[in-house]
Amino acid sequence: MTATKVLVLNGPNLGRLGSREPDVYGSTSYTGLVAACEKAGAELGFAVDVRETNDEAEMIRWIHEAADERTPIVINPGAFTHYSYALRDAIAQRTAPLIEVHISNPYAREEFRHTSVVAAVASGTIAGFGITSYTLALRALADQLSA
């Protein structure tokens, strides 16, 4: 049986995990995040492709690719969450489940982080559980895909 391809997309500054504000984002490095996603994905029968970009256009291209291929997505849009209507419009074209994730709880942070322009077009949102937010999202995808 072939593993289901899943994209795990990460937006701006997430490649700096481990050194970026460890009091907010924890001490796990980006490499550690990739390993955790790949391990959880393998346990669930997923071929996980983890990507990170600081470029909004590249993120949108990846979402278009996923829509064309009917590929499920776990996405941490980073700061794009709060203002990128272009990203929101790309996500609205999705053809498979898409789960928005955040390492920290945006509602426990600065007020500008309380609004997600992508949440309304996502299947759901998981936030505030550190790196575990990603593994919870992968489990939720597995549930959605098997339903």
Binding residues for substrate: 76, 82, 89, 103-104, 113
Q: What is the DSSP track for 4-41? A: EEEEEEE-TTGGGTTTS-HHHH-S--HHHHHHHHHHHH
Q: Active-site residue among 102, 107, 114, 134?
A: 102
85 is catalytic: no
* Residue 2 DSSP symbol: P
Residues at the annotated binding site? Answer: 76, 82, 89, 103-104, 113
Kindly name the residue from 25, 83, 85, 114 that is annotated as catalytic: 25
| CA–CA gap between residue 120 and residue 107 (Å, rounded) | 16
Task: Examine the residue annotation and report whether 114 is marked as an active-site residue of this protein.
Answer: no
* Region at 30 (left for phi over 0; alpha for psi -120 to 50; beta for the rest): alpha
Residues designated as active site: 25, 102
